[in-house]
Amino acid sequence: MPETSPGPAAPSLPPLAAQAERLIELGVHELARMPAGELRAFASAQDAGGGHGDEALLAVHPERVPASALAPLLRRGGKPGFVVTDMSDVDGFGPLDAIELTDASLYVVTGVDRGDHMSNWSPEEALPALTKEERTPLLLTEGIHWVLQQPAALERDRCFMTIGSRLRKADGALDARTPAIWISNGTGRDGRERRNAPKVGWCWWGNRHTWLGFASATSRRP
């Protein structure tokens, strides 16, 4: 595997109560069909309980709010996020079998890291390395939640893949596409008007990209 340098750390996340307010401001609670008070109460209880350590992320279960609904809420320089045109099946990308996702509508993802040290690795190389480190790759919806809370987590040449989400085909095999979040160059089907906008797209399972790390976490807690 290629040698890499760690690079600068991604910006820190705000407290969970502040994250709840951010989601309410964006209308995520309405998309999830839950009262704003439920979101606030959950975040407050988690903050009061503590024990999450640094980089704790508040997440809504993808079955309550899928990636297609979250992506347009992303903003960079006033431009909304979008899903690439050849990923119309984005909401079919579910958790890997090895990921135990809670049934709860709200949960906390702990120890979030952008995985800059794995830039220029392929997903095929990164997944076993993360497993060996006892880390779990982020789901696509979790990655979007992260950028909603901390837009600076997405930087030019410092973007990330979310290989915890994969699409299983009708024959049971995994689709070779792996989801990622990066910044559009405004080329091709993206359109010039989307230059510098946050972009949800995909890369091949066996391909390397120098500007994509592998976002991961230490745990998910209901």
Q: 129-139 pLDDT, tens per residue?
A: 999 999 999 99
CA distances from 207 to 32, 125, 126, 210 (A): 35, 10, 11, 10
Mean pLDDT within 183-211: 97
Model confidence at 10: pLDDT above 60? yes
Model confidence at 5: pLDDT above 50? no
Q: What percent of the chain has pLDDT over 90?
A: 90
Residues 142, 147, 152, 156, CA torsion sign:
positive
Model confidence at 6: pLDDT above 60? no
At 12, is the pLDDT very low, low, confident or very high (cuts 50, 70, 90)? Answer: confident
- 143-182 confidence digits (pLDDT tens): 999 999 999 999 999 999 999 999 999 999 999 999 999 9
pTM summary value = 0.94
Model confidence at 7: pLDDT above 60? no
At 48, is the pLDDT very low, low, confident or very high (cuts 50, 70, 90)? Answer: confident
| Helix, coil or strand: residue 189 | helix
The dihedral over CA atoms of 107, 213, 90, 109, expressed in degrees to the nearest 10, equals 0
Mean pLDDT within 49-71: 90
pLDDT-wise least confident of 6-10, 54-58, 160-164, 206-210 = 6-10
Model confidence at 123: pLDDT above 50? yes
Model confidence at 212: pLDDT above 90? yes
At 81, is the pLDDT very low, low, confident or very high (cuts 50, 70, 90)? Answer: very high
Q: What percent of the chain has pLDDT over 70?
A: 94
Neighbouring CB atoms inside 10 A of 131's CB total 13
